[in-house]
């Protein structure tokens, strides 16, 4: 499997799972069918659109390839009818979000590398791709974005590590058909473990005041 084909497959899978995340959030918020569709589309394509605008790939892929719009539509329909069987809807949203994070940080990094960006810039753009859709979803749903919530479980850090791993694999000429899915699975597993164990990023250091007797 070529790296280009692997990139397309990973991106479409990422679009689907992020769209499910957006649709479930809309359902949780009581949105109607149009609101569900809009949030699914924005969550699925937002990070990729930001990425494409930054690297100058315009119009963004979401507006050139119809499947990038049809896949979120299909995901919204699935969520619309299947959400009653999802008994723990909030955790289900987080699971799909974690899957989308892993897939999109990898595909964003790969596309940036293909456009000739350096490893650091590519990793940064990969993280932007991974968190962008979820950030827009939370803003539209009138929630504090998970990315900046106080005491939120690790979110961007797993994406940073996954994106960095992709750039290292690219430097070592590792087969991306293996390295890219492996990095995406790692990010997903790291994010889910952080949610279960409530791992958080450190806050700014403050000096502890001595107790005066």
Residue 183 to residue 157: CA distance in whole angstroms: 13
Tell me the C-alpha distance between 152 and 156, whole Å: 10
| 8 A C-beta contact, residue 152 and residue 138 | no
Where residue 21 falls among pLDDT bands split at 50, 70, 90? confident
- Tens-digit pLDDT profile for residues 95-133: 888 888 888 899 899 999 999 999 999 999 999 998 898
Amino acid 3: pLDDT? 58
Read off the pLDDT of residues 55-67 as tens digits, 9 standing for 90 and up.
Answer: 999 999 889 989 8
Q: What does the DSSP 8-state code read for residue 200?
A: B
Whether the CB-CB separation of 79 and 29 falls below 8 Å is answered with: no
Residues whose CB is less than 8 angstroms from the CB of residue 180 and which lie 6 or more positions away in sequence, other chains included = 3, 6, 7, 10, 106, 107, 110, 166, 169
The predicted pLDDT at position 32 comes to: 94
- pLDDT tens digits for 44-54? 999 999 999 99
Contact (CB, 8 A) for 197 and 154: no
Q: What ranges do the domains of the chain cover?
A: 3-197
Predicted local confidence at residue 175, as pLDDT: 87
């Amino acid at each position: 499997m070529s790296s280009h084909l692997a990139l397309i497959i990973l991106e479409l899978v990422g679009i689907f799972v992020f769209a499910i995340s957006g649709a479930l959030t809309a359902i949780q918020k009581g949105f109607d069918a149009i609101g569900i569709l809009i949030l699914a589309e924005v969550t699925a394509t937002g990070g990729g659109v930001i990425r494409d605008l930054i690297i100058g790939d315009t119009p963004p892929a979401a507006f050139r390839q119809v499947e990038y719009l049809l896949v979120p539509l299909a995901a919204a329909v699935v969520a619309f009818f299947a959400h009653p069987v999802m008994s723990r809807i909030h955790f289900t949203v987080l699971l799909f979000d974690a899957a989308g994070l892993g897939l999109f940080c990898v595909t964003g990094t790969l596309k940036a590398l293909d456009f000739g960006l350096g490893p650091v810039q590519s990793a940064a753009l990969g993280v932007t791709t991974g968190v962008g859709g979820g950030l827009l979803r939370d803003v539209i749903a009138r929630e504090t974005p998970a990315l900046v919530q106080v005491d939120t479980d690790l979110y961007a850090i797993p994406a940073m590590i996954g994106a960095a791993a992709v750039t290292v694999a690219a430097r070592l000429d590792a087969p991306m058909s293996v390295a890219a899915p492996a990095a995406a699975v790692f990010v997903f597993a790291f994010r889910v473990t952080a949610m279960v164990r409530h791992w958080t990023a450190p806050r700014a250091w403050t000096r502890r005041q001595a107790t005066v007797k």
